[in-house]
């Protein structure tokens, strides 16, 4: 079969209709059977289906490997590998667990997936069963490579060599013994055992050589490994040893393919420009630290490779559009690594404070070991002195757009030494206030005089196709050559289905290509076993969702319940607690309660002892929404990442990029406020189904309690419509919104007349439409005022820091909006419309200028507010300024009552000014604020902590009140208000005014405790106790770091009850992440070991790369790249170093020169190893 015929055969075999849709039939059966048994009344399947699938998979796997060997179409080969893996997977997935071939078939499927560039899916095939599977040593070694258990492979090979099982003398004795009995019919098995032992030794040698190649980056070792495996393959073929032949053949292809996608191959060692030595050092430490993780990370996914190659070019502004869970964070990490190698800092922008905490933890795990400092700014829009110090000093700063925007308005130099800005979930463009602010912020970043010194990288999962995407990418990339990086690859596949309630049971319907398997009785009704309830379960849509989730957990799946409306999340918590108490649902918690200690401690502090969300945690369910306290969310998300909690109930926060995932996503509803959720939101949510390295596939289910056909049709339409996010410029949409209403109100004049009116007559008062009813008019008037404030804020954000005259407005707007998204999007419209849009913007800017002074506009700009808000702040400034000064003075003096009274009085002024008005706005808000400021538990003060109270604290206090107080401060500063009173001429800069806002943000008037919480410690009560116990004195990050490393704090931290029993673990985690001990930081160390070679071995030549292995007793043995024993070091260690050694034979032949990538944990002493040569 020539190459053309081979490709044609593969193309035919991967057609969906091949052999009567064989693959789809197999996958359909795999979705519904359990332990190889189909449910009653399930659709029928052929008795030979498993045999047909296995034969098809084997054949296609061979064809794909042959296609690779003959340099055929690579994409076709990858598709063939994936199809082969899916066919074999369909045999073993949920199949008969007693099948003797199950382990080997799983290995074949995993290998096929890996060769199809689906390494995470390959991992998932083997991770749960490799320890119990019936695998030979060769098969197990191959499985461990797929599982990235490199340390385990090294240990097993080393033990094999030390035992000397395959030593020449041992094999010769074994074969001599068996040759004497050639006439014995039973003698073939021992002979085969000896051959298998020899082949295992060859396999180990090839695999060991490849591992050393991964450790050192030496491609020559890859070629040597391949050659050694090729010898074994030839021997297996000659001896007709089929399982071993498969393993050698697969291993050859795996190591070649894995090397091509490895960090060593993809990340160039020489950057296009910049500090080459620093890049090489950081690159080496990065690769080594990832390789030494429990699951070694050694390669990149197909979705990441193009972006990774471009990541090293600091002049390449990347726009990366990858599906959810397809590896965007790793791309960002590589860009960060490159920036840090240039000696510059990084700002990582996330759209949500909840996402900031997740991102900080992820970056801490990667860059903390490299000695880089990472901090997240957890507060609201304002920037305290502590946060300003963090922004100026930390290597990597994670913040929301609002936090960075406010900081830059007030101090543009704060990012002068920042070389990279990462925009996570960068699709946040739209009509809302946050979206328009974001668009203006990016434009201001791009228009900075030093913009050419700063790279921008934008990441998103739901960018659209078409000209909107092209314009967005060109805008962020500043029209540089080269396009965006896009891919539709994801590590797991997604299946869709419905759970239909049939009166007394549920039916599960699934979709697998053209196949539609079903489980007729997925679960039935249940009766309560305690309590007064008599109604059977489930009785409504919510209970059907819960019944579905619990049924999936029974099958070993983790479940994420998605609620499109945030207010429906907490009722789920109450329902779950109630149903468990009635014996209808069982606890799904499978770990000891002590693992929940930290999250429960923080939860009790915020929510009280009896809150249903805490009760849910204790039965293994996370209830998650954006209004929950950030420290509590952070700890809950840690448990979710660790797999402690099996079920999560989540709000729309999930669709905004929060990194929560599960095997199955169960959709509570498709509607929000009587409208179908946006297709872009749906696309982001369904991407959470299927966890990389855990699941082969993700399942997305819609339970339907009633009105089946109607809701099913909506469901199918939404599945078909899942697409990217609308990316029209928010500024364009905003102006169009005004013009459309104005046009209708004026009776639909022509464009020229409308433009004339806008420029010369528009007062920007709400235009009434006579035919509108009262309700619609009220809604429209509210929208008009809201959008006008957003437009004013945008205009002032663009021009407010410039002292322009009214005549300079048009030119100023043209200049600041040059090459903007606004300009690119209006260019698609005809010239009259362009003129109209531009005229409207000029008209509104002129109105702002006519109603304000230069200093007032400067104040509005610094505060990030519009004209109306700014005017209201002006009117309230005398009282507000005095209260702000009084509050800060009281905090400075330790006068708690006066501080609380002043802040409450200031809040009374701020809370009547939009956009600072809280929503919700509880009637007892003054009591809540007072308790909050005193650092006391809210729940312990007689206040019922419901969803509205949490939202008021999170949104009304931490966000809006803090912003309002900062607005008062910067407005007074810009206007040089005289605030001295009887003291004479004084401005607000003559007073300490930096204490009240951190107090509001953190919930304590103790500025030391507030600073501790701003640094990331999650417990208010424990923070207050920690600084009180030690009499702490610190006022900036450097002094805080010194206090954390002081003898007293170190001694206190050793007590299991400090700061409190429940917060001890949390405290130590914070302490180590904020100020990691020097000995834990990875660096590159070089040195030399004396080596004693074993007798009878050929000494390796100088320059030969060798391997070091540390045994359990600390004895280091010297081995060849193929892991053959050569000698021992003349030292021993207490424990094996946790880093990575690169060792070569020194010129004198008696020493090893080493380069060590790792922490400071090489503690050697003279000694003897306990290993002698087996030769």
What is the pLDDT confidence band of residue 1164, given thresholds at 50, 70 and 90?
low
> Residue 179: what pLDDT?
57
Torsion of CA 623, 624, 630, 636, to 10 degrees: 60
* CA gap 687, 97 in Å, rounded: 30
Does residue 1175 carry a pLDDT above 60?
no
On the CB side of 234, CA atoms within 13 Å amount to 6
What does the pLDDT look like over 283-297, one tens digit per residue?
999 999 999 999 999
> Residue 371: what pLDDT?
93
What does the pLDDT look like over 390-418, one tens digit per residue?
888 899 999 999 999 999 999 999 999 99
In angstroms, the Cα distances linking 422 to 348, 387, 417 are: 5, 19, 15
> Residue 1168: what pLDDT?
41
Average pLDDT rounded to a whole number, residues 1012-1021 = 90
Cα first-last separation, the chain: 48
* CA gap 484, 501 in Å, rounded: 45
**In this structure, how many other beta carbons lie within 10 angstroms of the beta carbon of residue 82?**
21
Which range is least confidently modeled, 72-76, 271-275, 439-443, 1020-1024?
Answer: 271-275
* CA gap 950, 1101 in Å, rounded: 69
Does residue 1108 carry a pLDDT above 60?
yes
Q: 1113 or 782: whose pLDDT is higher?
A: 782
CA angle 334–212–1083, rounded 5-degree value: 50
* CA gap 813, 809 in Å, rounded: 6
* CA gap 1027, 1044 in Å, rounded: 10
Q: DSSP for 604-656, please give it.
A: HHHH-TT-HHHHHHTTTEEEE-TTS-HHHHHHHHHHHHTT--SEEEE-GGGGG
Strand-pairing partners, residue 1117, are: 1109, 1128
Asked whether the beta carbons of 643 and 556 are under 8 A apart, the reply is no
**In this structure, how many other beta carbons lie within 10 angstroms of the beta carbon of residue 981?**
11
SS3 content of the chain, % helix, strand, coil (to 5): 55, 10, 35
H/E segment holding residue 346: strand 345-349
Average pLDDT rounded to a whole number, residues 353-359 = 82
Q: 121 or 653: whose pLDDT is higher?
A: 121
> Residue 146: what pLDDT?
98
The dihedral built from the CA positions of residue 1006, 1009, 1013 and 1019, taken in this order, carries a sign that is: negative
* CA gap 838, 1140 in Å, rounded: 60
> Residue 187: what pLDDT?
53
What is the pLDDT confidence band of residue 312, given thresholds at 50, 70 and 90?
very high
What does the pLDDT look like over 1029-1046, one tens digit per residue?
999 999 888 899 999 999
> Residue 1167: what pLDDT?
47
What does the pLDDT look like over 588-638, one tens digit per residue?
999 998 899 889 989 998 898 889 999 999 999 999 988 888 889 888 988
β-pairing verdict for 1125-1129 and 1116-1120? antiparallel
What is the pLDDT confidence band of residue 723, given thresholds at 50, 70 and 90?
low
* CA gap 453, 715 in Å, rounded: 48
Asked whether the beta carbons of 858 and 865 are under 8 A apart, the reply is no
* CA gap 987, 629 in Å, rounded: 36
What does the pLDDT look like over 944-969, one tens digit per residue?
888 899 999 999 999 999 999 999 99
Does residue 174 carry a pLDDT above 70?
no
> Which among 990, 980, 986, 1035 has a CA at the least distance from the CA of 1011?
1035
What is the pLDDT confidence band of residue 873, given thresholds at 50, 70 and 90?
very high
Does residue 1170 carry a pLDDT above 50?
no
Does residue 341 carry a pLDDT above 70?
yes
**Token pair recorded at residue 267:** 């990340």
How long a stretch of residues is the chain? 1175
Asked whether the beta carbons of 613 and 571 are under 8 A apart, the reply is no
The dihedral built from the CA positions of residue 141, 143, 145 and 149, taken in this order, carries a sign that is: negative
**Token pair recorded at residue 266:** 């993809």
What is the pLDDT confidence band of residue 736, given thresholds at 50, 70 and 90?
very high
> Residue 658: what pLDDT?
67
Does residue 872 carry a pLDDT above 70?
yes
> Residue 1169: what pLDDT?
40
What is the pLDDT confidence band of residue 378, given thresholds at 50, 70 and 90?
low
* CA gap 372, 630 in Å, rounded: 24
Q: Where are the alpha helices (DSSP H) in 642-773?
A: 679-686, 708-721, 730-745, 751-760
Residue 632's contacts (CB-CB under 8 Å, 6 or more residues apart) are 599, 602, 603, 606, 607, 1018
**Token pair recorded at residue 604:** 């009790």
Asked whether the beta carbons of 1105 and 1066 are under 8 A apart, the reply is no
> Residue 1172: what pLDDT?
38
- For 364, the 3-state DSSP assignment is helix
What is the pLDDT confidence band of residue 386, given thresholds at 50, 70 and 90?
confident
Measured in degrees and rounded to the nearest 5, phi and psi for residue 661 equal -145, 165
- For 862, the 3-state DSSP assignment is helix
Does residue 849 carry a pLDDT above 60?
yes
Question: Average per-residue pLDDT in the chain?
Answer: 92
Average pLDDT rounded to a whole number, residues 819-828 = 98
Strand-pairing partners, residue 455, are: 420
* CA gap 1078, 146 in Å, rounded: 34
* CA gap 979, 1045 in Å, rounded: 41
Strand-pairing partners, residue 348, are: 398, 422
**Token pair recorded at residue 21:** 């849709």
Asked whether the beta carbons of 209 and 1121 are under 8 A apart, the reply is yes
DSSP structural state of residue 186: G
What does the pLDDT look like over 178-206, one tens digit per residue?
656 555 555 556 677 888 899 999 999 99
Q: Where are the alpha helices (DSSP H) in 14-149?
A: 18-32, 49-69, 74-92, 102-115, 119-126, 137-146
> Residue 381: what pLDDT?
74
């Amino acid at each position: 079969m020539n190459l053309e015929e081979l490709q044609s055969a593969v193309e035919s075999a991967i057609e969906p209709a091949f052999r009567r849709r064989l693959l789809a039939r197999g996958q359909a059966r795999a979705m519904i059977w359990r332990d190889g048994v189909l449910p009653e009344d399930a659709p029928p399947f052929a008795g030979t289906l498993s045999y047909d699938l296995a034969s098809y998979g084997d054949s296609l796997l061979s064809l794909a490997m042959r296609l690779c060997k003959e340099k055929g179409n690579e994409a076709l080969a990858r598709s063939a590998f994936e199809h082969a893996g899916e066919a074999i997977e369909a045999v073993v997935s949920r199949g008969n667990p007693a099948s003797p071939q199950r382990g080997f078939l799983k290995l074949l499927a995993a290998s096929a997936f890996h060769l199809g560039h689906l390494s995470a899916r390959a991992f998932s095939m083997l991770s749960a069963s490799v320890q119990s599977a019936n695998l030979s040593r060769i098969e197990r070694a191959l499985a461990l490579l797929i599982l990235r258990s490199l340390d385990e492979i090294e240990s097993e090979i080393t033990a094999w060599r030390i035992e000397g099982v395959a030593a020449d003398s041992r094999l010769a004795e074994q074969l001599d013994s068996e040759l004497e009995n050639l006439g014995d019919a039973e003698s073939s098995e021992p002979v085969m055992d000896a051959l298998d032992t020899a082949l295992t030794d060859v396999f180990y040698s090839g695999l060991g050589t490849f591992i050393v190649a991964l450790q050192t980056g030496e491609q020559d070792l890859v070629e040597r490994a391949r050659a050694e495996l090729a010898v074994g393959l030839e021997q297996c073929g000659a001896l007709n040893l089929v399982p071993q032949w498969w393993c050698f053949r697969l291993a050859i292809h795996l190591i070649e393919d894995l090397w091509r996608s490895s960090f060593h191959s993809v990340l160039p060692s020489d950057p296009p420009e910049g500090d080459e030595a620093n890049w090489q050092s950081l690159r080496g430490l990065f690769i080594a630290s990832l390789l030494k993780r429990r699951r070694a990370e050694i390669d990149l996914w197909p979705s990441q490779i193009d972006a990774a190659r471009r990541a090293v070019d600091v002049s390449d502004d990347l726009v990366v559009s990858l599906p959810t869970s397809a590896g965007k964070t790793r791309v960002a990490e590589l860009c960060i690594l490159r920036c840090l190698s240039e000696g510059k800092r990084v700002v990582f922008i996330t759209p949500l404070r909840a996402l900031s905490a997740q991102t900080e933890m992820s970056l801490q795990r990667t860059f903390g070991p490299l000695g880089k400092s990472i901090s997240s700014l957890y507060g609201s829009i304002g920037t305290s002195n502590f946060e300003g110090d963090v922004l100026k000093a930390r290597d990597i700063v994670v913040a929301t757009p609002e936090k960075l925007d406010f900081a830059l308005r007030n101090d543009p130099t704060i990012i002068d030494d920042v070389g990279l800005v990462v925009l996570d979930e960068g699709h946040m463009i739209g009509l809302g206030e946050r979206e328009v602010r974001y668009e203006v912020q990016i434009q201001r970043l791009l228009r900075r005089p030093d913009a050419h010194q700063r790279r921008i990288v934008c990441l998103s999962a739901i960018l659209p196709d078409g000209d909107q995407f092209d314009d967005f990418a060109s805008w962020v990339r500043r029209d540089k050559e080269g396009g965006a990086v896009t891919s539709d690859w994801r590590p797991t596949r997604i299946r869709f289905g419905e759970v239909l309630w049939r009166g007394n049971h549920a039916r599960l319907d699934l979709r697998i290509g053209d196949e539609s398997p079903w489980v007729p009785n997925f679960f039935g009704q249940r009766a309560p076993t305690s309590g007064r309830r008599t109604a059977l379960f489930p009785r409504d849509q919510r209970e059907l969702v819960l019944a579905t989730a619990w049924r999936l957990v029974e099958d070993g799946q983790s479940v994420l319940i998605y609620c499109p409306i945030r207010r429906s999340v907490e009722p789920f918590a109450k329902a779950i607690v109630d149903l468990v108490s009635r014996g209808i649902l069982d606890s799904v918690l499978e770990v000891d309660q002590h693992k929940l200690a930290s999250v429960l401690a923080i939860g009790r502090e915020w929510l009280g002892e009896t809150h249903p969300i805490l009760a849910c945690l204790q039965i293994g369910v996370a209830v998650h929404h954006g209004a929950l306290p950030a420290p509590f969310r952070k700890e809950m998300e840690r448990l979710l990442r660790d797999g402690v909690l099996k079920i999560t109930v989540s709000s729309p926060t999930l669709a905004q990029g929060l990194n929560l995932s599960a095997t199955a996503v169960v959709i509570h509803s498709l509607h929000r406020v009587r409208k179908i959720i946006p297709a872009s939101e749906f696309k982001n949510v369904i991407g959470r189904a299927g966890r990389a390295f855990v699941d082969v596939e993700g399942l997305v289910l819609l339970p339907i309690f009633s009105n089946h056909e109607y809701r099913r049709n909506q469901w199918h339409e939404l599945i078909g419509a899942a697409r990217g996010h609308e990316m029209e410029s928010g500024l364009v949409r905003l102006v169009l919104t005004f013009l459309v209403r104005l046009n209708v109100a004026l009776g639909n004049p022509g464009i020229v007349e409308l433009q004339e009116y806008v420029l010369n007559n528009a007062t920007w008062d709400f235009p009434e439409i006579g035919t509108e009813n009262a309700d619609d008019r009220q809604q429209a008037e509210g929208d008009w005022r809201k959008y006008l404030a957003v437009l004013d804020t945008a205009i002032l954000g663009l021009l407010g820091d410039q002292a322009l005259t009214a005549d300079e407005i048009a030119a100023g707007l043209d200049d600041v909006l040059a090459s903007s998204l606004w300009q690119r999007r209006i260019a698609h419209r005809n010239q009259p419309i362009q003129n109209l849009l531009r005229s409207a913007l000029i008209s509104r800017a002129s109105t702002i200028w006519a109603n304000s002074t230069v200093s007032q506009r400067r104040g509005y700009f610094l505060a990030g507010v519009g004209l109306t808000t700014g005017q209201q702040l002006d009117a309230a400034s005398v009282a507000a300024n005095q209260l702000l000064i009084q509050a800060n003075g009281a905090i400075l003096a330790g006068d708690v009552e006066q501080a609380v009274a002043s802040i409450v009085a200031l809040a009374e002024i701020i809370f009547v000014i939009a956009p600072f008005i809280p929503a919700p706005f509880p009637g007892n808000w003054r009591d809540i604020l007072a308790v909050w400021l005193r650092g006391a538990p809210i729940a312990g003060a007689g206040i019922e902590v419901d969803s509205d109270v949490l939202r008021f604290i999170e949104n009304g206090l931490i966000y809006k009140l803090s912003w309002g107080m900062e607005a008062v401060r910067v407005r007074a500063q810009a206007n040089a208000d005289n605030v001295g009173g009887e003291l004479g001429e004084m401005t607000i800069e003559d007073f300490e005014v930096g204490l009240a806002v951190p107090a509001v943000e953190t919930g304590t008037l103790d500025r030391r405790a507030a600073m501790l919480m701003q640094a990331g410690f999650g417990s208010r009560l424990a923070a207050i106790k920690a600084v009180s116990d030690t009499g702490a004195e610190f006022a900036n990050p450097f002094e805080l770091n010194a206090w954390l490393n002081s003898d007293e704090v170190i001694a206190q931290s050793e007590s299991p009850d400090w700061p409190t029993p429940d917060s001890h673990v949390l405290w130590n985690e914070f302490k180590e992440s904020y100020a990691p001990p020097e000995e834990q930081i990875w660096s590159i160390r070089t040195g030399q070991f004396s080596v004693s070679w074993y007798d009878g071995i050929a000494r390796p030549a100088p320059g030969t790369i060798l391997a070091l292995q540390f045994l359990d007793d600390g004895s280091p043995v010297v081995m060849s790249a193929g892991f053959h024993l050569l000698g021992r070091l003349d030292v021993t260690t207490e424990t094996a170093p946790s880093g990575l050694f690169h060792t070569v034979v020194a010129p004198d032949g008696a020493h090893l020169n080493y380069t060590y990538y790792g922490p400071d944990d090489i503690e050697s002493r003279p000694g003897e190893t306990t290993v002698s040569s087996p030769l």
